[in-house]
């Protein structure tokens, strides 16, 4: 039986990052993967979707070339080539992880891993042991009883990335990050898209102003949006698919070629031996302490299988923290109140910290500032004037409570707010930090200025 210091179960952005950091810290490390290195994120999630969205953005530019004083005749798209480019990007990233495994002398064990008592992992009949086992098996598309996925007419995100033929009509159920990203992509490609959202607003976890702006921007591009609506049943017996949607006005039947179910995720915790070991699970999540140890010594869990936000960058941070603690380093528990969320539709969305409503619900005395990109020189020059930056500060101490952005490139801007909050920056300090002009990022400074009644360009 092969013996390791650490075995990581799963090679997504939680698992492979954990394995690399463990190796850097001197641990003899192995990683178990049943499919492709990089997990869902690199192969079927974060990376290939961004490739699809980039193709959509370029196509949008071509269609609106005259807005920039350019002439492009009969711009067309090759749907299959767009999909193949996305797969090529994903394959390249997966090969990059393979290289990193070799570079860091990490043993890759291919197959389905199952936990065993006594700190062992069985991989398709072969047993391996370790001092510590870290579970990083991630999650998959969640299925609703009223919306069973058949992989053909009712699909999840995985099938949405590799359709052989572009649908003429698509219904997207759920308006979280996955739902709105695919809605934008397919709408840009020319598919007639309808979003059905159960809650009153699209992207419901975001600040209400962001939700309203996205709905406005999406409707402008021709996306049909139904909020406070629920798909109660689907009929796939005909050529396409029919969805019965319940709204406050009654029931309505929508017809489409395909329904994309984007109603959240389900953790991959079945049949991996949790019951055999005695690891406690609550509501589909493995219960861990601040440093990701389960109730059974020697077994740890990170990423989507734990109660924290199901985000790639969270899984990576948790894994690094976990192995650094195992190495005896002095580490602080992760601050889950300062984790950025990003959505890559167009306009993009990025946020961190409290929304305005959350701050008010806490009874905080706040200062709120908002700066629209319509007043930004860089946004005007780039033809991307939709959206804004919104900031929330504690009125008494100047603490940066939250930052919410919607607009072009804002996913690359949110780190300023994350770092500022980590360093306990005050509104006054942000205001006095010189931001370059003309940039989209100076909208952050302008929004802070608006909060303190010092805004110049509005």
Q: What is the mean predicted confidence (pLDDT) over 215-232?
A: 96
Name the residue ranges covered by the structural domains of the chain: 2-141+266-336, 154-263, 347-451
Average pLDDT taken over every residue of the chain = 95
Cis peptide before 347 (omega within 30 of 0): yes
Whether the per-residue pLDDT at 1 is higher than 80: the answer is: no
pLDDT bracket for residue 157 (50, 70, 90): very high
Instruction: Fold for 154-263, please state it.
Output: FAD/NAD(P)-binding domain (3.50.50)
Cα angle 57-60-66, degrees, rounded to a multiple of 5: 135
Sheet (strand 224-226) strand order:
154-155, 258-261, 169-173, 192-196, 224-226
CA distance 281 to 195: 33
pLDDT tens, residue by residue, 251-261: 999 999 999 99
pLDDT tens, residue by residue, 239-252: 999 999 999 889 99
Q: Which of 64, 313, 435, 437 is an active site residue?
A: 437
pLDDT score for 343:
97
pLDDT bracket for residue 39 (50, 70, 90): confident
Whether the per-residue pLDDT at 125 is higher than 80: the answer is: yes
pLDDT bracket for residue 81 (50, 70, 90): very high
In the chain, count of helices (H) and strands (E)? 14, 24
Please check whether the two domains, 2-141+266-336 and 347-451, share a CATH topology: no
Longest dimension (CA), the chain: 69
CATH superfamily, domain 2-141+266-336, is FAD/NAD(P)-binding domain (3.50.50.60)
CA distance 435 to 171: 42
> Active-site residue 437, yes or no?
yes
pLDDT bracket for residue 322 (50, 70, 90): very high
pLDDT score for 457:
85
pLDDT score for 288:
98
Q: What percent of the chain has pLDDT over 70?
A: 100
pLDDT bracket for residue 310 (50, 70, 90): very high
- Stretch among 39-48, 124-133, 160-169, 237-246 having the lowest mean pLDDT: 39-48
Q: What is the mean predicted confidence (pLDDT) over 13-33?
A: 97
pLDDT score for 338:
97
Q: What is the mean predicted confidence (pLDDT) over 96-112?
A: 96
pLDDT score for 45:
85
CA distance 278 to 289: 16
Confirm if 163 and 86 have CB atoms less than 8 A apart: no
pLDDT score for 44:
84
Q: What percent of the chain has pLDDT over 90?
A: 93
pLDDT bracket for residue 41 (50, 70, 90): confident
Whether the per-residue pLDDT at 344 is higher than 90: the answer is: yes
Which tokens hold the place of 230?
């629920």
What's the CATH code, domain 347-451? 3.30.390.30
Q: What is the mean predicted confidence (pLDDT) over 287-305?
A: 97
CA distance 293 to 282: 15
pLDDT tens, residue by residue, 171-206: 999 999 999 999 999 999 999 999 999 999 999 999
């Amino acid at each position: 039986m092969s013996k390791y210091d650490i075995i990581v179960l799963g090679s997504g952005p939680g698992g492979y990052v954990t394995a690399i950091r463990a190796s850097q810290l001197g641990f003899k490390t192995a990683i178990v993967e049943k499919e492709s290195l990089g997990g869902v994120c690199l192969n079927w999630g974060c990376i290939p979707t961004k490739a699809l969205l980039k193709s959509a953005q370029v196509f949008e530019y071509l269609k609106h070339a005259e807005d920039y004083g350019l002439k492009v005749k009969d711009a067309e798209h090759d749907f299959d080539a767009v999909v193949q480019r996305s797969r090529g990007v994903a394959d390249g990233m997966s090969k990059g992880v393979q290289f990193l495994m070799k570079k860091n002398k990490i043993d890759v064990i291919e197959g389905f891993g199952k936990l065993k008592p006594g700190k062992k992992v069985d991989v398709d009949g072969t047993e391996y042991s370790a001092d510590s086992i870290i579970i990083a098996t991630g999650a998959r598309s969640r299925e609703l009883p009223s919306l069973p996925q058949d992989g053909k007419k009712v699909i999840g995100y995985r099938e949405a990335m590799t359709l052989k033929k572009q649908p003429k009509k698509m219904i997207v159920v759920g308006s979280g990050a996955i739902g709105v990203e695919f809605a934008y992509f397919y709408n840009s490609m020319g598919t007639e898209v309808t979003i059905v959202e159960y809650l009153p607003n699209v992207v419901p976890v975001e600040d209400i102003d962001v939700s309203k702006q996205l709905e406005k921007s999406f409707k402008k591009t021709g996306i049909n949006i139904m909020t406070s609506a629920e798909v109660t049943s689907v009929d796939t017996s005909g050529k396409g698919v029919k969805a019965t949607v319940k709204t406050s006005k009654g029931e309505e039947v929508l017809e489409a070629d395909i329904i994309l179910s984007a109603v959240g995720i389900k953790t991959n915790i079945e049949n991996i031996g949790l019951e055999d070991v005695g690891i406690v699970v609550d509501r589909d999540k493995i219960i861990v302490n601040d440093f990701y140890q389960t109730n059974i010594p020697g077994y740890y869990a990170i990423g989507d299988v734990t109660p924290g936000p199901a985000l790639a960058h969270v899984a990576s941070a948790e894994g690094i923290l976990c192995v650094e603690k195992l190495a005896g380093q002095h580490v602080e528990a992760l601050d889950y109140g300062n984790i950025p969320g990003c959505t890559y539709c167009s306009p993009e969305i990025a946020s961190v910290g409290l929304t305005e409503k959350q701050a008010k619900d806490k009874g905080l005395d706040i200062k709120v500032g908002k700066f629209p990109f319509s007043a930004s020189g860089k946004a005007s020059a780039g033809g991307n004037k939709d959206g804004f930056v919104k900031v929330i500060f504690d009125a008494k101490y100047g603490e940066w409570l939250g930052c919410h952005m919607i607009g072009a490139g804002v996913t690359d801007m949110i780190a300023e707010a994350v770092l500022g909050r980590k360093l306990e920056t005050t509104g006054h300090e942000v205001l006095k930090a010189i931001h370059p002009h003309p940039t989209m990022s100076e909208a952050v400074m302008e929004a802070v200025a608006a909060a303190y009644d010092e805004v110049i360009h509005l």
